[in-house]
């Protein structure tokens, strides 16, 4: 039983490293679920300002629930979307839209 737990911990550690690499590799990363209106809100903001983003749809990913648990540990929130700009989590859909409305999002992308 101990080996299952340690192998699971190693798998999660490996997956966490992949998430960290993904966040660093792309200027904008959105962890989303296809059916979530707040996720659509965040994606729409970036489409409106014509900024490309790397998208991970957790509900379509084979390790989506594990990814969501990792994001929860990283950001302190389990909700989606989790939006990252230049390696920093800015929050979810509401925060993304608010930053855009306040004119702060473009500055963060520079």
- Rounded to an integer, the average pLDDT of 80-99 is 97
- The edge-to-edge listing of strands for the beta sheet with 88-91 is 54-57, 28-32, 82-85, 88-91
pLDDT-derived band of residue 3, with 50, 70 and 90 as boundaries?
very low
**Mean pLDDT of the chain, nearest integer:** 91
* Residue 92, helix vs strand vs coil: coil
Report CA-CA distances (Å) from 80 to 8, 48, 105, 107.
24, 20, 19, 23
Query: pLDDT tens across 34-89, in order?
Result: 999 999 999 999 999 999 999 999 999 999 999 999 999 999 999 999 999 999 99
Residue count of the chain: 110
Phi-psi region of 51 (alpha: psi -120 to 50; beta: other; left: phi over 0): beta
Full-model pTM: 0.89
Q: Which domains does the chain have, with CATH numbers?
A: 2-109 (3.40.30.10)
The pLDDT of residue 10 is 53
Residue whose structure tokens are 């798998």: 11
Whether omega for the bond prior to residue 103 falls within 30 degrees of 0, making it cis, is no
């Amino acid at each position: 039983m101990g080996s299952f737990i340690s192998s699971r911990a190693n798998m999660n550690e490996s997956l966490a490293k992949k998430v960290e690499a993904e966040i660093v590799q792309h200027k904008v990363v959105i962890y989303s679920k296809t059916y979530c209106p707040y996720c659509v809100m965040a994606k729409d903001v970036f489409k409106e300002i014509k900024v490309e983003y790397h998208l991970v749809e957790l509900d379509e990913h084979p390790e989506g629930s594990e990814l969501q648990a990792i994001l929860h540990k990283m950001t302190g929130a389990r909700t989606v979307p989790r939006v990252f700009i230049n390696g920093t989590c800015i929050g979810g859909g509401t925060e993304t839209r608010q930053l855009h409305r306040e004119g702060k999002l473009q500055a963060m992308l520079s």
